Amino acid sequence: MTKLAAQQVRYTDRSAVERAVKKLRDFPPLVTSGEVEHLREMVASAQRGERFWLQGGDCAESLDDCRPEPIANKLKILLQMSLVLVHGMKKPVIRVGRFAGQYAKPRSKPMETRDGVELPSYFGDLVNRMPFTPEDREPNPHLMVRGYQHAAVTLNFIRSLIDGGFADLHHPVQWDLGFLDHAGLRPEMRQQYRTMATELANALTFMEALGDKSVDEMGRVDFFTSHEALNLLYESAQTRSVPRREGYYNLTTHFPWIGERTRALDGAHIEYCRGIRNPVGVKIGPKTTPEELVATIDALNPSNEAGKLVLITRLGADHAASAAPRLIEAVQKAGKTVLWTSDPMHGNTRSTRDGTKTRSFEHILKELEAVIDAHERAGTHLGGVHFELTGEDVTECTGGATGLADDGLGENYQSPCDPRLNYAQALEMAFVLANRMG
């Protein structure tokens, strides 16, 4: 690797790094090249406006949260949101979880100081641990192996749930609607959701009665995994060629993305992501110039292939209305094939008076609306959304129908990193979005 890699970890024990990388390289892959190629086709179809992209999950997964309930709940909220979106937008939804490997975090400061003590910042469970002790904060190469193993366990459970009919659209009654009852949802929303689930079930039954062969396919739910491709040691270890296919695949995930802090044009993350067959995402912040955006697209996808590139704008509610139109125009003028998605979370983080990181439902929605408007005016389309969310009843973001305010955030704040929409807020967001885009 000759390019400069931003945000890379400084391990002190070289031989431990080599042992960890060898172990990773020798493991079987988490995903297959066939699945990656399938996702490429899905991305291409979303680029043509035939599908909508829904990506979501924790800011940072933690090894301790590799337990059945949080995983099932995350799957459930994404599935329920997708059901709402399918119903409202009348098109299939591509479901992409920020999970099974979302363990590495970029940080704005490499060191953290508390009471005069300075230690490395927490870079996610793939790198070091959260407790503020010298042992925990020391980057540990073996955590890459543990992260991979936990990603495998997570993905195994997700695949089993799906194979076992957890997400079979033919049987929405099995979606455990009781879950809706204790989640602080408004009654109208609960009713709207129930009606929608019944309508979808009836539509499937009707089509089956007509003998439509494609129904089976429609009823089956696909799920893809994604994570930020931050730690290039980890990403490269499972990057390989596959018999009877051309090119290289990152087989730790279907969809790696490049973060806002690591997308330097001459940097290693761009160089890595352009070289793999996986579709890739790139975060685009409010200061990105139109020229820089087009150059980034050219670097990642020089032959302008369909299905390769997903742009994830994260502009902030106050900048979206001015930034989005010029970015859209530049890409349109340059004739680039991309999927436009919006991450309305990362430009809208603020601290409360007592220093708690939060985001408001209203700011998140404001950014989404500004981006949707910009696309409508340009004659393009917003092809997807990217949320930090959880299926749990946490109190990390304010607003929405739950009316959570700053002073209520302490009740059940769990995220080690960025604040996530909770179950009710996420589902409400899907309803608002479906109504706005339907």
Residue type, 237: A
Of 59 and 394, which CB lies nearer to Co ion in the complex structure? 59
Query: 95 forms bridges with which residues in the sheet?
Result: 54
Residues contacting 401, CB < 8 A, separation 6+: 185, 186, 189, 424, 428
Which member of 95, 314, 366, 420 binds ligand PEP (CB under 6 A)? Answer: 314
Of 88 and 124, which CB lies nearer to ligand PEP in the complex structure? 124
Which member of 30, 39, 59, 382 binds Co ion (CB under 5 A)? Answer: 59
Which member of 36, 43, 46, 59 binds ligand PEP (CB under 6 A)? Answer: 59
User: Closest distance between Co ion and the C-beta of residue 295, in Å?
Assistant: 25
| Closest C-alpha among 293, 291, 267 to residue 282 | 293
377 to 416: interface string for Co ion, x by CB under 5 A: ----------------------------------------
Contact yes or no for 388/344 (Cβ under 8 A): no
Q: Is 114 exposed, middle or buried (0-12, 13-18, 19+ CB in 10 A)?
A: exposed
Q: Which helix (H) or strand (E) holds 311?
A: strand 309-313
Of 261 and 336, which CB lies nearer to Co ion in the complex structure? 261
User: Closest distance between ligand PEP and the C-beta of residue 284, in Å?
Assistant: 8
Which member of 139, 259, 316, 344 binds ligand PEP (CB under 6 A)? Answer: 259
Distance CA 58, CA 105 (A): 11
Of 20 and 104, which CB lies nearer to ligand PEP in the complex structure? 104
DSSP 100-130: SS------S-SEEEETTEEEEPP--TTT--S
What is the footprint of Co ion within residues 337-376 (CB under 5 A)? none
Does position 260 bind ligand PEP by CB under 6 A?
Answer: yes
Which residue reads 């393009």 in tokens?
380
Which member of 65, 260, 418, 428 binds Co ion (CB under 5 A)? Answer: 418
Angle between helix 320-334 and helix 290-300 axes, rounded to 10 deg: 50
Q: For 384, phi and psi rounded to 5 degrees?
A: 180, 175
* CA separation, residue 114 to residues 120, 122, 162, 319 (Å): 11, 13, 44, 33
Structure tokens that stand for 344 in this block: 């309305």
Residue type, 67: R
Q: Which residues of 76-100 are buried (b: 16+ CB within 10 A; e: fewer)?
A: bbbbbbbbbbbbbbeebbbbbbbbb
| Closest C-alpha among 47, 91, 50 to residue 438 | 91
Could you say which of ligand PEP, Co ion, none residue 137 binds, taking C-beta under 5 to 8 angstroms by partner kind? none
Of 33 and 342, which CB lies nearer to ligand PEP in the complex structure? 342
Query: 29 forms bridges with which residues in the sheet?
Result: none
User: Closest distance between ligand PEP and the C-beta of residue 340, in Å?
Assistant: 15
Does position 428 bind Co ion by CB under 5 A?
Answer: no
Could you say which of ligand PEP, Co ion, none residue 74 binds, taking C-beta under 5 to 8 angstroms by partner kind? none
Of 59 and 185, which CB lies nearer to Co ion in the complex structure? 59
Of 228 and 271, which CB lies nearer to ligand PEP in the complex structure? 228
User: Closest distance between ligand PEP and the C-beta of residue 196, in Å?
Assistant: 29
Q: How big is the site for ligand PEP, counted in residues (CB under 6 A)? A: 10
Of 42 and 258, which CB lies nearer to Co ion in the complex structure? 258
214 to 243: interface string for ligand PEP, x by CB under 6 A: --------------x---------------
145 to 174: interface string for ligand PEP, x by CB under 6 A: ------------------------------
Does position 286 bind ligand PEP by CB under 6 A?
Answer: no
Q: Which chain residues interact with Co ion by CB under 5 A?
A: 59, 418
Q: Which chain residues interact with ligand PEP by CB under 6 A?
A: 59, 106, 228, 259-261, 283, 314, 346, 418
